[in-house]
Structure 1
Amino acid sequence: MKWQGRRASSNVEDRRGRGGKAVVGGGLGVGGIVIILIVMLLGGDPGDILNSITTTSSSTQTSGNYELSQQEQELSQFVSVVLADTEDVWSEVFRQKGLTYENPTLVLYTDSVESACGASSSAVGPFYCPADYKLYIDLSFYDELQQRFQSPGDFAMAYVIAHEVGHHVQTLLGTTDKYAARMQQDNAYQVRFELQADYLAGVWAHYAQDKNLLEAGDIDEALTAASAVGDDTLQKKAQGYAVPESFTHGTSEQRKSWFYKGFKSGTIEGGDTFHAKSL
């Protein structure tokens, strides 16, 4: 992706090195439930989220003692540019529909973080909290994309950011509130919710291509990442078989398909996963 020298978003909150505080004691509050139902990224394990919420621990690391590596500096600049581009794209898409787009904030953190949705560790992966309109990401996830998910390339990371921004778009359009109760009762709605976020990530990529920002292989990088984090692929790697009833994000093929549909369509209307006869 062509990103060097382009506008970086001012809506970035850098908490790296500051650490966070895990919730003391057990039990799930509303914030924890929201995280489980809504903000898990890309096939994350609910067990990781439960552990991060119920673990008794705290961090006293301060930002003053934290030195950024060259890779971290470059990655933070990259994700800031990607965020800025999503701001431009979605502001225009909303304007054309007579709506006003509210920019989300991207929070960079290390190890653990507190949000309006509760306390979380980096084990949950990047996530979006609809209660505070913020995206949260530990940039070490970039290494995980390359090593664990075998999804190298900067556009794989751009897809991750765009997916979380897709959840923000869902929140602004009222989709999150509309289907939150159903997602608690039926994983099938959770899958449709996540696939719609993939579709919206594809819509952003459509406009990035129109602006001549994509390079050869970028879409393939996004599709590789989408495939790598399909529920079926992750479960087969973890336990040797897949349990469709437990899926929360969709299969590898579904995730690729809906991202690509958004990329080809470039419209919000084409991503109504909740009424699609087949996924």
Structure 2
Amino acid sequence: MRLNDFNPAKIRVRDQRGGGGGGGGLPGGGIGVVGVLVVLAVAYFTGADPAQLLGGLQDAQQGQVQEQSVGGRSVEESCAVNQYSTEACAHLASLNETWEPKFRAAGVQFEQPILNFYSRSGRSGCGEAQSAMGPFYCPSDMGIYIDTDFFDEMAQRMGAKGDFARAYVMAHEYGHHVQNLTGLALQVRQLQKRNPDQDNALQVRMELQADCYAGVWAANNRARIEPGDIEEGMAAAHAVGDDTLMEQAGRRPVEAAFTHGSSAQRMKWLKTGLETGDEDSCDTFADILR
């Protein structure tokens, strides 16, 4: 996917890589998914064990000797650390440019999220961040958290390759930010507290809506989509379906344990967003929330 050059002064970035804590603070004068494998988001909303769906990925990573990536001390430096960092910053800028006008048209206050880079481990407003958790969104600090090494794992272990697969991850996490700003995330958390037996089912709806929002973003930037991009996105959505992850971990898929939705469901809702380009088509709560 071809993205425009971005202005570092118009995005919010923090960098915890290498303990530098850089990222130049918060540009723009304000405060600050599967995606793919948004396991910390699941833990935050449902209390689930974030390692459960990873099928040994964390153990494998712990057995490897890795050097912690060095981050930047300004937004420009942080976004230039590697290709994945540059892509993530470009995706963030494009997502801001796509969603802010939609909020303005709806008369809803908009606030940019903060893109937080970390390596292997870090800190978030929702607790500890670990690379085995994958990218996630933390509603309490409006932060999207990414260890860019995850994208190599995604390609090598899960078969989700390509720049559009990585764009899907960012756009999915941004979808959770949209849910946070609109108040839907709070509604769902309250509903989960009242109906604890429905925790997972409600979380699945959250994740599928975020997938649909990722498709809406892509549809609104259709002129920049290249041949093969849609196939990459669909492959990524399939790779992070709960049934697929459970099977790969040697477990029998059990729908009651799903927290993100099946591969078929994730592909369906991503496709819905791509085909309509309309966020109103992403109402996965139409039958329970008015």
With the length of structure 2 as denominator, give the TM-score of the two structures. Answer: 0.77
8 A contact 2:139–2:180 mirrored in 1: yes
Match of 2:277 in 1: 266
The letter for the 2-side match of 1:191 is: V
Structure 2 counterpart of 1:199, from 212, 236, 244: 212
Structure 1 residues 49-198: aligned runs within 5 Å? 72-183=81-192, 185=196, 186=198, 187-198=200-211
Instruction: Find the residue that maps to 1:239 and give its secondary structure.
Output: coil
Match of 2:264 in 1: 253
8 A contact 1:19–1:110 mirrored in 2: no
The letter for the 1-side match of 2:87 is: F
Q: Size of the alignment, in residue pairs?
A: 249
The letter for the 2-side match of 1:245 is: A
How far did residue 276 of structure 1 move? Answer: 5.2
The letter for the 1-side match of 2:273 is: G
In structure 1, list runs of 5 or more residues that go unmatched: 21-31, 53-60
Q: Give runs of ≥4 in structure 1 deviating > 6 Å.
A: none
Structure 1 residues 38-57: aligned runs within 5 Å? 38=45, 45-46=51-52
8 A contact 1:226–1:255 mirrored in 2: yes
8 A contact 1:206–1:264 mirrored in 2: yes
Find the aligned partners of 2:165 and 2:71 in 1 and give their Cα distance.
31
How far did residue 10 of structure 1 move? Answer: 2.8
Instruction: Give a deviation string over 1:40-90, Cα, whole Å, max 9, x none.
Output: 9xx963477xxx9xxxxxxxx795899x9xx95221111100000000000
How far did residue 5 of structure 1 move? Answer: 3.8
The CA RMSD over aligned residues, in Å, is: 3.1
1:226 aligns with 2:237: yes
8 A contact 2:5–2:90 mirrored in 1: no
1:3 aligns with 2:3: yes
In structure 2, list runs of 5 or more residues that go unmatched: 22-38, 59-67
How far did residue 116 of structure 1 move? Answer: 1.0
8 A contact 1:44–1:125 mirrored in 2: no
How far did residue 222 of structure 1 move? Answer: 0.8
Structure 1 residues 27-38: aligned runs within 5 Å? 36-38=43-45
Identity %: 41
Find the aligned partners of 2:247 and 2:175 in 1 and give their Cα distance.
27
